[in-house]
């Protein structure tokens, strides 16, 4: 915490120095969303290059002055929280003054900018993000406040903890971890008792694009148990994008890649090649939209696809067919095909990429 306080004090001192010299204070930020500032490393995923281009948030420019003021406001809130050892969610911060902040996304963006500027992970700034992910299966752990959590015997799903860094005493006999893209598929697998039937496993869903806590938990479980990690996604560009976020990270959070990515992740399904192999009825396939085509074209150009020839092939199959399929398409074969046939066969015979 002293490191956080010192980092904020340094920023404020620079602002005061500028004011004392009759200069307009500026805050300098890394360009987080610029691909030119990102390098791809097989072992880490997408990470920020050490000397990246920066942008200035100026206090004397009408366009950036409001952001400058909001950054100082949130810095002062973080400073108080670290001093008093209290925590707040991003939502709490927004609701402390909705008129001032205008929208939740403004707050979220500024918090990521501050984290990147100070080079301090968000949880060390005492800001928690509300969790939307779920976890189930063969896993127990103790939360920071001493609460014992057991996912194994719970028939209901458990929410991913909001302070992943604080959990300890992780115990699991799981043979693998399965990341499921969507809540509906996750619930279906739970109903079919998938976590225990085949072999003990841990299932996680970020319910779409994963939040920070879900990604942190996947990484922590992988660090703790070093078991295979598989993804089950829709066979569409959106599903591939989500899988890439878990495996390689995202451009906007590349400054925190080391805590968030799991490059060992394997693509289990639904593969575009599975659709033909399983003779999935054309009626349940969905034609591409223009947006799907653009998304797929942008994914195909990304640096990590070049080092994944098998993935590249699957994306080419998808691009050529201009068709996408949800995991639910497997129910056209039989209602429990996913848990009874598809996943057991894939896991037994190594049907992943």
Catalytic residues: 95
Q: State how far the Cα of 193 lies from the Cα of 69, in Å rounded to an integer.
A: 52
8 Å CB contact between 248 and 210: no
Q: State how far the Cα of 165 lies from the Cα of 306, in Å rounded to an integer.
A: 33
Sign of the Cα torsion 56, 62, 66, 69 reads positive
Q: Is the peptide bond before 270 cis (omega within 30 degrees of 0)?
A: yes
List, in order, residues 6 or more apart from 68 with CB less than 8 Å away.
Answer: 25, 26, 27, 57, 58, 59
Sign of the Cα torsion 274, 275, 281, 283 reads positive
Q: How far is CA 352 from the centre of its chain?
A: 21
Sign of the Cα torsion 102, 103, 104, 108 reads negative
Q: Which residue has 């049907």 as its token pair?
A: 351
Mode of pairing for the β-strands spanning 158-159 and 168-171:
unpaired
59 token code pair = 């206090």
Mode of pairing for the β-strands spanning 26-30 and 54-58:
antiparallel
Mode of pairing for the β-strands spanning 201-205 and 176-180:
parallel
- Residue 286: count of CB within 10 angstroms of its CB: 14
Nearest to 176 by CA among 352, 45, 335: 352
8 Å CB contact between 173 and 138: yes
Nearest to 241 by CA among 206, 283, 274: 206
Element (H or E) spanning 81, and its range?
helix 65-84
């Amino acid at each position: 915490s002293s490191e956080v306080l010192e980092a904020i004090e340094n920023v404020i001192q620079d602002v005061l120095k500028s004011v004392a010299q009759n200069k307009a204070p500026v805050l300098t930020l890394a360009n987080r969303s610029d691909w030119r500032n990102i390098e791809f490393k097989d072992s880490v995923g997408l990470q920020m290059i050490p000397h990246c281009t920066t942008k200035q948030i100026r206090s004397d420019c009408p366009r950036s002055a409001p952001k400058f003021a909001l950054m100082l406001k949130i810095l002062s809130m973080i400073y108080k929280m670290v001093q008093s050892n209290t925590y707040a969610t991003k939502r709490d911060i927004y609701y402390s003054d909705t008129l001032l902040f205008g929208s939740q996304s403004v707050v979220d963006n500024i918090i990521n900018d501050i984290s990147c500027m100070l080079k301090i992970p968000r949880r060390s700034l005492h800001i928690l993000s509300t969790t939307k992910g779920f976890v189930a299966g063969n896993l127990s752990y103790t939360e920071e406040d001493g609460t014992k959590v057991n996912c194994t015997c719970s028939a209901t799903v458990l929410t991913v903890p909001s302070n992943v860094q604080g959990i300890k005493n992780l115990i699991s006999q799981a043979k693998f971890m399965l990341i499921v893209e969507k809540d509906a598929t996750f619930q279906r697998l739970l109903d079919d008792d998938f976590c225990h039937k085949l072999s003990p496993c841990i299932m996680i869903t970020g319910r779409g694009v994963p939040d920070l806590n879900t990604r942190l938990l996947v990484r922590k479980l992988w660090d703790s148990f070093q078991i295979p990690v598989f993804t089950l996604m829709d066979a569409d560009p959106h599903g591939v994008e989500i899988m890439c976020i878990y495996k390689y990270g995202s451009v906007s959070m590349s400054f925190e890649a080391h805590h968030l990515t799991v490059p060992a992740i394997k693509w289990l399904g639904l593969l575009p090649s599975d659709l033909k192999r399983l003779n999935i009825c054309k009626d349940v396939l969905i034609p591409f939209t223009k947006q799907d085509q653009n998304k797929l074209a942008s994914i195909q150009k990304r640096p990590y696809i070049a080092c994944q020839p098998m993935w590249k092939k699957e994306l080419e199959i998808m691009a050529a067919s201009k068709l996408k399929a949800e995991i639910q398409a497997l129910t056209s074969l039989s209602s429990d095909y996913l848990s009874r046939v598809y996943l057991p066969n894939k896991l037994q015979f190594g049907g992943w990429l």
